[in-house]
């Protein structure tokens, strides 16, 4: 990893006077967000082994963290490239040396499309693609391609009724693929997103339909191999099952991004590795550390962590441990894990977390430190510009930057 300098005004950065080797609570301006190195290493290896075992390509979704250092780790382990959700995110990846990029979204902005269409002129070995789901998208792509004398590579997105983007029927997908081909865009295949479906069975059935579309439009793809891209982080085992009988000449590219850090909530409940423990397991890497600032009445403690610091859209944080930090500082402080249900997050304000303390629960005192696990990694990284990587003894190993 590459350490990126920060100042005290960069959220998450330590005291500039901090020694290179220190405990995470030393020279720290709380709250801070940390990543466990052991969990990152485990999750990177588990996911890469999984996709290789099933004969897939992997382009993990960089929008989850927008940390080039983390993307570089996954590419070094064997990932094909990265997935992003916008041209701006693609530009971040590109400027950090990542030139295999899937923009898993429709792009209609002329300036953004022109940038995408010009990538192969900037680097003949680049492979940058975006999605289309309408004739308007095809025509916008053609106009941008002409404007820069470029080459826009696209895949047709196949959605499902009630979902988000993507054409709704197989016939619409075939018609749009034909139009993209006829208008001179470089058609590469099809894509979809199964994460919005209610369970793995529904995901499997949907992907089977998209696979049929991929086979139908294969004659329109002039590249040596066509592409089928799928993959949220909840039902990718359904993807694997659905594409097991895929035809020759079709690459399946998985995009599951939350797998790198995992979580203690949304994905912990839904991960395919819970249904298939023989395939491996993921570990929660993310923690947010905050200090107890007030215990104003029995059964209530307030921590200086809030909506500006931690995710809450797919479930509230959970308390992983508590540190009773005295005047002597962090050295030698032993983490204490509360019993289940003893210390519960009930509410978040912008800068405050409300903890309900059960009768007989672990006593908290102003000055104590609470370590939270999170639910939904995608909406915690964007709140930080510096993220601290720690060893299992909570020694700081590195500080990495996010680029939102």
* Cα distance between residue 87 and residue 287, in whole Å: 29
pLDDT in tens, the chain (404 residues): 444 555 667 999 999 899 988 999 999 999 999 999 999 999 999 999 999 999 999 999 999 999 999 999 999 999 999 999 999 999 999 999 999 999 999 999 999 999 999 999 999 999 999 999 999 999 999 999 999 999 999 999 999 999 999 999 999 999 999 999 999 999 999 999 999 999 999 999 999 999 999 999 999 999 999 999 998 999 999 999 999 999 999 999 999 999 999 999 999 999 999 999 999 999 999 999 999 999 999 999 999 999 999 999 999 999 999 999 865 566 567 899 999 999 999 999 999 999 999 998 888 999 999 999 999 999 999 999 999 999 999 999 999 999 99
* Cα distance between residue 310 and residue 31, in whole Å: 10
* Cα distance between residue 15 and residue 21, in whole Å: 13
- Characterize the bridge pairing of strands 300-303 and 353-357: antiparallel
pLDDT of residue 1: 46
Adjacency order of strands within the sheet including 100-106: 57-58, 250-254, 226-230, 186-191, 153-157, 127-132, 100-106, 82-84
Let me know if the fold of 32-36+282-401 is the same as that of 99-256.
Answer: no
Report in angstroms the alpha-carbon separations of 227 from 111, 162, 181, 191: 26, 25, 15, 8
Burial label for 25, CB within 10 Å (0-12, 13-18, 19+), is buried
Question: Considering the domain 99-256, what is its CATH architecture?
Answer: Alpha-Beta Barrel (3.20)
* Cα distance between residue 141 and residue 184, in whole Å: 10
Alpha helices in 78-134 (DSSP H): 87-95, 110-117, 119-122
Does 32-36+282-401 carry CATH code 2.40.37.20?
A: yes
User: For the chain, how far is it from start to end, CA to CA, in angstroms?
Assistant: 19
DSSP state of 180: H
Helix (H) or strand (E) holding 289: strand 286-297
- The full set of domain ranges for the chain reads 32-36+282-401, 99-256
* Cα distance between residue 137 and residue 280, in whole Å: 40
Q: State the residue for tokens 């592409």.
A: 227
User: At 296, is the secondary structure helix, strand, or coil?
Assistant: strand
Tally Cβ neighbours within 10 Å of residue 133: 22
């Amino acid at each position: 990893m590459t350490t990126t300098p920060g100042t005290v005004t960069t959220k998450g950065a330590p005291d500039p006077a901090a020694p290179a080797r220190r405990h995470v609570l030393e020279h720290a301006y709380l709250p801070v967000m940390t990543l466990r190195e052991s969990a990152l290493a485990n999750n990177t290896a588990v996911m890469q082994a999984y996709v290789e075992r099933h004969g897939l390509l992997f382009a993990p979704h960089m929008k989850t963290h927008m940390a080039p250092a983390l993307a570089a780790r996954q590419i070094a382990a064997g990932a094909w490239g990265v997935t992003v959700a916008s041209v701006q995110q693609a530009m971040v990846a590109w400027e950090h040396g990542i030139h295999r990029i899937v923009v898993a979204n429709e792009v209609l902005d002329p300036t953004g499309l022109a940038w995408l269409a010009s990538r192969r002129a900037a680097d003949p070995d680049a492979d940058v693609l975006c999605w289309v789901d309408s004739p308007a998208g095809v025509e916008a792509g053609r106009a941008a391609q002409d404007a820069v004398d470029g080459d826009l590579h696209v895949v047709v997105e196949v959605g499902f009724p009630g979902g988000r983007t993507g054409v709704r029927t197989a016939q619409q997908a075939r018609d749009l693929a034909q139009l993209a081909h006829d208008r001179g865009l470089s058609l590469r295949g099809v894509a979809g997103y199964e994460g919005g479906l209610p369970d793995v069975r529904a995901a499997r059935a949907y992907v089977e339909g998209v696979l049929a579309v991929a086979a139908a439009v294969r004659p329109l793809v002039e590249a040596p191999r066509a592409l089928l891209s799928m993959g949220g982080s909840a039902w990718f085992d359904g993807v694997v099952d659905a594409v097991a009988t895929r035809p020759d000449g079709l690459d399946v590219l998985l995009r599951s991004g939350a797998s790198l850090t995992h979580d203690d909530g949304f994905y912990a409940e839904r991960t395919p590795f819970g249904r298939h423990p023989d395939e491996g397991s993921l570990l929660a890497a993310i923690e947010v550390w905050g200090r107890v600032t007030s215990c104003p009445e029995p059964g209530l403690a307030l921590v200086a962590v809030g909506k500006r610091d931690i995710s809450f859209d797919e479930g509230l944080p959970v308390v992983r441990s508590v540190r009773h930090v005295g005047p002597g500082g962090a050295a030698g402080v032993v983490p204490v894990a509360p019993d289940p249900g003893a210390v519960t997050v009930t509410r978040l304000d912008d800068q405050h977390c409300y903890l309900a303390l059960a009768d007989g629960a672990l006593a908290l005192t102003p000055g104590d430190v609470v370590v939270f696990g999170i639910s939904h990694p995608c909406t915690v990284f964007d709140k930080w510009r510096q993220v601290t990587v720690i060893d299992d003894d909570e020694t700081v190993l590195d500080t990495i930057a996010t680029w939102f």
